[in-house]
């Protein structure tokens, strides 16, 4: 996998190029980013290869994790973990994550999103960001970015 094969930008929505500009998450170089429900890892790769972030993708589907590892596992600063998002978050030391993402990810599917949100808040450092995309309709997606106080 070369840089040219990595997506040009973080894709927040089902419409390529739509959604917040890349800079909305600030300078990610050397920052710890956690994606909850990373799928095949396309956005993880962007964050590691184009933004210099230290990324961890978490997904509970072994096929997705295998695919992400196959595609992007050799990129520096990128790891993929097979785990349930909530269980993984419980293992993360408090206040150590700079950015937590759920792009059509775990927060869209968890039966208890409030508990998962609380675990995200615990993992994030003060000032850290949580970026979430959800399907708001058949053709519309909503992106929400929250700052941890
Ligand atoms: C629709 S895909 C989105 C993948 C990726 N974020 C993207 O935008 O392409 C949702 C992913 O979240 C994963 N997922 C859903 N709930 C999860 C959970 N509780 N823990 C870990 N992964 C989860 C699924 O296995 C799936 O790969």
Q: What is the pTM for the complete model shown?
A: 0.97
Output the CATH code of domain 27-147.
Answer: 3.40.50.150
116 Cα to the center of ligand 1, angstroms: 14
134 forms beta bridges with 142
The pLDDT averaged over each successive group of 10 residues in the chain (149 residues) is: 87 96 94 98 97 98 98 97 98 98 98 96 98 96 97
**Residue ranges per structural domain of the chain:** 27-147
Judge residue 138's burial from the number of C-beta atoms within 10 Å of its C-beta, 0-12 exposed, 13-18 middle, 19 or more buried.
Answer: exposed
pLDDT on residue 40: 98
3-class state of residue 107 by DSSP: helix
pLDDT on residue 77 = 97
Q: Is the CB of 85 under 6 A from ligand 1?
A: yes
Q: What is the pLDDT of residue 144?
A: 97
3-state secondary structure of 80: strand
The pLDDT of residue 36 is 98
Give, for ligand 1, the residue of 34, 37, 60 to mutate: max count of ligand atoms closer than 8 Å to Cβ: 37
Q: Give kind and range of the element (H or E) at residue 31.
A: none
């Amino acid at each position: 996998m070369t840089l040219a094969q990595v997506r040009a930008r973080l894709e927040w929505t089902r419409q390529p190029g739509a959604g917040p500009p890349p800079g909305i998450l600030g300078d990610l170089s050397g920052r710890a980013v956690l994606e909850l429900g990373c799928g095949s890892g396309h956005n993880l790769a962007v964050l590691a290869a184009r933004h210099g972030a230290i990324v961890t993708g978490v997904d509970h589907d072994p096929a997705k994790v295998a695919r992400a590892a196959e595609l992007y596992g050799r990129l520096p600063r990128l790891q993929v973990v097979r785990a349930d998002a909530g269980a993984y978050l419980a293992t993360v030391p408090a206040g150590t994550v700079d950015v937590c993402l759920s792009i059509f990810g775990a927060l869209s599917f968890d039966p208890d999103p409030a508990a998962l949100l609380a675990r995200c808040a615990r993992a994030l450092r003060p000032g850290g960001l949580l970026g979430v995309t959800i399907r708001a309709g058949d053709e519309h997606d909503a992106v929400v970015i929250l700052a941890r106080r």
